[in-house]
């Protein structure tokens, strides 16, 4: 009876250890996949924001030039 209990406990421990090693081995690749997924999803929006900011900068530079010229 004790031998069967011991075998069951050993099997549980080895199964948990194997599962932990599997998770640790695959964790970096999963993290990189999630990072890549996030970049692909958010990049178009960031590009649009950059384009908008560049346009606003050009408009504000024009307005600043106009104000400076009017103040002379």
pLDDT tens-place string over residues 16-71: 999 988 888 888 888 889 999 999 999 999 999 999 999 999 999 999 999 998 99
Report how far residue 40's alpha carbon sits from residue 32's, in angstroms, rounded to the nearest whole number.
Answer: 12
3-class secondary-structure state, position 72: coil
pLDDT at 1 exceeding the cut of 70: no
- In terms of pLDDT, which residue wins out, 27 or 12? 12
Q: What is the DSSP-derived secondary structure letter of residue 3?
A: H
How far apart CA 57 and CA 64 sit, in angstroms, is 10
Predicted TM-score (pTM) of the model is: 0.51
């Amino acid at each position: 009876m004790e031998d069967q209990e011991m075998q069951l406990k050993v099997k549980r421990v080895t199964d948990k250890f194997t599962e932990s090693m599997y998770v640790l081995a695959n964790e970096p690749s999963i993290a990189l996949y999630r990072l890549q997924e996030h970049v692909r999803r958010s990049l178009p929006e960031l590009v649009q924001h950059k384009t908008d900011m560049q346009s606003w900068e050009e408009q504000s530079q024009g307005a600043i030039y106009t104000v400076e010229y009017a103040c002379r």
